[in-house]
Amino acid sequence: MQVNKLTYIALITLFGFAAQAQSLEIIYDKNFEHGIIGQEIKTQLKIKNISSQIVYFKVYELKKQIGSGQKTFLCFSSDCENEVIANNKRRIDDVEVQQLAPGLIAENIFAVLETGLLKGISTVTYRIAVENFPEENIDLELQYEVSEPPKGGLLYSSLNVDLSDVYPNPVTETAIFDYNIKDDSKEAKIIIHNVLGSVAGEYKLNPYEQQLKISVENFNPGVYFYSLYIDNVGVATKKLVVRK
């Protein structure tokens, strides 16, 4: 289900000037960021200038409760793939001052959590401090849910969806997929085809669940292919063998 609203997961703290107009807002509509052990969870920090003048701001880490072996850092747009950034793991509070014109949205800042080797819930709070309005601060709390890797191995992973390989494979009764829908605005489904290309089954992935079970009772023994579709675009395909 798509959520079409702007949500603040934070309190806006105004020091000294209770009536001070707000100049920035955070565009964020998730309850949790989801990931699996051994991955990085990257969150885009969309920040909009809702004032009538240029705003200068800085992002830094205010507090955190994270698991052993987990780390946080900040990257800028395509620099998330930059080896220098990856090696140095730039600290969230090392970010330079950003400049944002009225009505524009800053989309180049990403907060990253390295999930480490343990599952659980972690929380990190970031502060957006407005340089030309020192009394205005916006705090954004991100909650991370880190899960065990899928039992069947990972077929596909992105910022939007993680999907395991099917297991067991070959299958005699029930085929199982583990998955994680990180962005519930995305429609994900699995389509199974036979070797002739005919559709044997189509199954939508519920964003509020994490496992899909498919009975193969009505499937003829043989070779099939299962594909993951995200917003009706095929992104991964693999073989499934049905035995009776």
- The answer to whether residues 118 and 185 belong to one domain is no
SS3 79: helix
Indicate the residue among 115, 147, 179 that finishes a domain.
147
- The top-scoring range by mean pLDDT among 7-16, 84-93, 226-235 is 226-235
Residue 86 pLDDT > 70, yes or no? no
- The answer to whether residues 23 and 65 belong to one domain is yes
Q: Give the per-residue pLDDT at 79.
A: 58
Find the helix or strand (DSSP H, E) in which 84 lies: helix 83-88
Q: Which residue has the higher pLDDT, 6 or 155?
A: 155
Amino acid at 16: G
Residue 155 pLDDT > 90, yes or no? no
- The answer to whether residues 104 and 182 belong to one domain is no
In the chain, DSSP assigns E strands to 12-14, 24-27, 33-36, 40-44, 46-49, 55-65, 71-76, 98-100, 105-106, 109-114, 120-130, 136-147, 154-157, 161-164, 174-181, 188-194, 199-204, 211-215, 222-230, 233-242
**For the residues 212-225, what does the mean pLDDT come to?**
94
User: What are the φ and ψ backbone dihedral angles of 88, each rounded to 5 degrees?
Assistant: -85, -20
Determine the Cα–Cα distance for residues 53 and 58; give it in Å rounded to an integer.
16
Determine the Cα–Cα distance for residues 136 and 50; give it in Å rounded to an integer.
13
- The answer to whether residues 25 and 90 belong to one domain is yes
- The answer to whether residues 58 and 109 belong to one domain is yes
- The answer to whether residues 90 and 123 belong to one domain is yes
- pLDDT by residue (tens digit) across 4-53? 333 333 333 333 333 345 899 999 887 788 887 878 888 889 999 999 99
The domain in which residue 116 lies consists of 12-147
Is residue 98 a part of any domain in this protein?
yes
- pLDDT by residue (tens digit) across 178-217? 898 888 889 999 999 999 999 999 999 998 888 999 999 9
Q: Give the per-residue pLDDT at 78.
A: 55
pLDDT confidence tier of residue 170, bands split at 50, 70 and 90: very high
Q: What residues have CB less than 8 Å from 86, skipping those under 6 apart?
A: none
Instruction: Transcribe 132-151 into DSSP letters.
Output: TSTTEEEEEEEEEEEEPPPT
Going by their DSSP bridges, the two strands 46-49 and 161-164 should be labelled as unpaired
- The answer to whether residues 113 and 164 belong to one domain is no
- The answer to whether residues 39 and 67 belong to one domain is yes
- pLDDT by residue (tens digit) across 99-149? 999 999 998 888 989 888 888 999 999 999 998 888 889 999 999 988 877
Tokens of 235: 């992104």
- The answer to whether residues 234 and 198 belong to one domain is yes
Q: Give the per-residue pLDDT at 123.
A: 96
Residue 179 vs residues 54, 126, 170, 214: alpha-carbon distances, Å: 43, 28, 19, 14
Tokens of 56: 């200068």
Determine the Cα–Cα distance for residues 205 and 185; give it in Å rounded to an integer.
12
Is residue 1 a part of any domain in this protein?
no
Q: How many domains does the chain have?
A: 2
Q: Give the per-residue pLDDT at 98.
A: 85
Question: What is the value of pTM for the model shown?
Answer: 0.58
